[in-house]
């Protein structure tokens, strides 16, 4: 059974693509958000990342570039996700990820099937998101209290693993106003239909008024080498 997933060590150099896209002008009607993040592992600075999100009424693209690690173990991450958009609904079309350095590997997931044919799409790729598209789907949720960005389940396929991520809200902390920040925690089920398991993932979103967008403000995830904390350092916005 063909899964439309390729691991290709000869993927394009996403770093060059990301740099070029940052200096090119945006298409009419498109929103472009470029966010810079710092990365800490166990409380020690470990690198930085850039997340570039472009979307209009019909399409979207998310690009990530990161350099994380120590002088003894460093990993560079380059990835991109693209697809179709209809309001808050996103339909992934392509997801590519390349790791070099301490960790190496490449992933290429074609959600559209060979030649864009519905008949060639594997059933495991129907109705699921890649990680970057899942994040954008949450960021684009409306701002009303009934559509809190933490109140949904995201079926995710990374190119290597399939799981469901359930986001639910936590009370605001550190004096943050509930109207501006939303704190989420996450449960996950590695296999569809399996009971959700508690994990120590915490995501904080901040609300932008224009464009209406939930920015990922902070994400913390426990790992063997210490808790990984990714925190937003700044965001620039272009577009209408």
Rounded-to-integer distance, Cα 225 and Cα 240, Å: 43
Given a contact cutoff of 8 angstroms between Cβ atoms, the answer to whether 145 and 151 are in contact is: no
Three-state secondary structure of 137-198: HHHCCCCCHHHCCCCEEEEEECCCCEEEEEEEEECCCCCCCCCCEEEEEEEEECCCCCCCEE
**pLDDT (tens place) for every residue of the chain, 240 residues total:** 444 555 444 444 444 444 444 444 445 578 999 999 999 988 899 999 999 999 999 999 999 999 988 666 788 999 999 999 998 899 999 999 998 876 678 999 999 877 656 666 677 788 899 999 999 999 999 877 666 888 889 999 998 888 888 998 886 565 555 556 888 888 888 776 677 777 789 999 998 988 899 999 999 988 877 889 999 999 999 875
Question: Phi first, then psi: what are they for 192, rounded to 5°?
Answer: -55, 130
Write down the H helix ranges in the chain: 14-23, 131-139
Asked whether 240 and 27 are in contact (CB, 8 A), the reply is no
Q: How far apart are CA 79 and CA 96, in angstroms?
A: 5
CA 27/CA 29 separation, integer angstroms:
6
Q: What is the pLDDT of residue 82?
A: 97
211 upstream amide cis, omega within 30 of 0: yes
| pLDDT value at residue 15 | 43
- Which pLDDT does position 18 carry in this prediction? 42
pLDDT of residue 218: 95
DSSP code of residue 14: H
Which has the closest alpha carbon to 165: 145, 204, 138? 138
- Spatial separation of the C-alpha atoms in residues 126 and 109, rounded to whole Å: 12
The dihedral built from the CA positions of residue 151, 169, 46 and 48, taken in this order, carries a sign that is positive
Question: What is the C-alpha to C-alpha distance for residues 55 and 86, in angstroms, rounded to an integer?
Answer: 11
Of the candidates 214, 226, 66, which has an alpha carbon nearest to the alpha carbon of residue 143?
214
Q: Where are the beta strands (DSSP E) in 70-104?
A: 74-86, 89-101
Residue 19 has a pLDDT of 41
Instruction: Please identify which residue in the block is written with the tokens 């770093």.
Output: 15
Distance CA 44, CA 65 (A): 20
pLDDT at 26 (0 to 100): 44
Residue ranges of domains in the chain: 5-239
pLDDT at position 177: 52
């Amino acid at each position: 059974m063909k899964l439309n997933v390729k691991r290709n060590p000869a993927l394009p150099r996403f770093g060059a693509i990301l740099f070029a896209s940052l200096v090119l002008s945006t298409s009419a009607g498109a929103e472009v958000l470029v966010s810079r993040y710092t990365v800490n592992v166990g409380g020690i600075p470990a690198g930085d990342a850039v997340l570039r999100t472009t979307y209009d009424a019909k399409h979207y693209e998310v690009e990530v570039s990161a350099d994380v690690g120590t002088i003894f173990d460093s990993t560079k991450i380059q990835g991109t996700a693209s697809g179709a958009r209809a309001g808050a609904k996103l339909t992934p079309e392509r997801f590519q990820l390349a790791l070099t350095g301490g960790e190496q590997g490449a992933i290429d997931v074609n959600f559209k099937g060979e030649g864009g044919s519905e008949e060639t799409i594997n059933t495991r790729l129907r109705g699921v998101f890649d990680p970057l598209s899942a994040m954008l789907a949450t960021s684009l949720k409306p701002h009303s209290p009934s559509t809190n960005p933490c109140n949904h389940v995201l079926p995710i396929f990374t190119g290597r693993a399939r799981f469901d991520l359930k986001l639910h809200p936590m009370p605001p902390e550190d004096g943050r106003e509930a109207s501006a920040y939303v704190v989420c925690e996450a449960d996950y089920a590695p296999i569809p239909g399996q009971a959700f398991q508690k994990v120590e993932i915490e995501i904080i979103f901040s609300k932008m008024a224009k464009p209406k967008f939930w920015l990922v403000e902070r994400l913390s995830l426990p790992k063997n080498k210490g808790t990984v904390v990714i925190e937003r350092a700044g965001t620039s916005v272009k577009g209408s």
